[in-house]
Amino acid sequence: MSGYASDLAFVEYGVGEELSSVLMNLKEAVHAFIKVFELRGTAPTLPVVHIGGAQVRETTRVDYSLTNSQRGLMAMYLPLICQLADEARKIAALIGDPEGATYIGENSDVCTPEDQDLACSLKALLLDETYGMGRQSQPSSEGRAYERMMLESIWVPDQDTFLEGIRRLLVWHAREHQHTEHRRDPAWLICVPGLALSTLARSRGLIQLGQLPDNNPYLPVALIGQHD
């Protein structure tokens, strides 16, 4: 449901629907994400069925497969765009990965160490906790590097670095959206990290709405100005 609602919002934005409808569907996605994270880790994994071979001792393990830090990052970004501060904090308190999670890896499509680090940093920021961002020698993507740049500049704070980060992120996003695999993905119609972090920076007095890039189709500033 969370993916369906968010994709519907992105498609509506792409075809020029009213921004109020886009926001309504983004809010639906936020509430669905909350349910997903509340359910995570509340049930055991599927039982092991032995078919020949040596018997393996079965242990009860909790199922964390519903989500991960990469998805948690998106789940925190959406309520920021909707300016749902309480919901953003609620999701932040629920995200995380179990110790020794095997799905985390440098080349993982599920969750990279940098995804995890960015999620932990944003979580700490939203919950007013202390967190030192880890230093990855090689960013998992150029876009992630710019997200890190923007997040760090909110922590400092540093307005000039933040604005440079959003400018670079939007250039990268526009270029990536031209790739075949991204052109068919509704999520690329909006630069979600850029819009979310801009909303957060604005809420903390780091930037003003008028300082954000004008007329960029991937950064619908009017969407985050709906509550003004």
Using CA atoms, how far apart are residues 19 and 12, in angstroms rounded to an integer?
A: 8
Number of domains in the chain: 1
Using CA atoms, how far apart are residues 84 and 69, in angstroms rounded to an integer?
A: 20
Average confidence (pLDDT) over 132-145 = 70
Average confidence (pLDDT) over 116-141 = 79
**Is 129 domain-assigned?**
yes
Amino acid at 65: S
**Is 226 domain-assigned?**
no
**Is 80 domain-assigned?**
yes
**Is 228 domain-assigned?**
no
**Is 7 domain-assigned?**
yes
Give the model's pLDDT for residue 41: 57
Tokens encoding 182: 């991204």
Give the model's pLDDT for residue 221: 94
Tokens encoding 6: 């968010």
Rounded to 5 degrees, φ, ψ at 104 are -95, 125
> pTM for this one?
0.85
Owning domain of residue 124: 2-44+61-98+109-219
**Is 176 domain-assigned?**
yes
60 pLDDT higher than 50: no
Ramachandran category for residue 136: left, alpha or beta (phi over 0 → left; psi -120 to 50 → alpha): beta
**Is 39 domain-assigned?**
yes
**Is 55 domain-assigned?**
no
Evaluate whether 38 touches 58 at the Cβ level (below 8 Å). Answer: no
Q: Which of 52-56, 113-117, 186-190 has the highest mean pLDDT?
A: 186-190
The model's pLDDT over 154-176, given as tens digits with 9 standing for 90+, comes to 999 999 999 999 999 999 999 99
Percent of the chain whose predicted confidence (pLDDT) is above 90: 61
Cis peptide before 79 (omega within 30 of 0): no
Tokens encoding 175: 């270029």
The model's pLDDT over 182-210, given as tens digits with 9 standing for 90+, comes to 988 999 999 999 999 999 999 999 999 99
Amino acid at 190: I
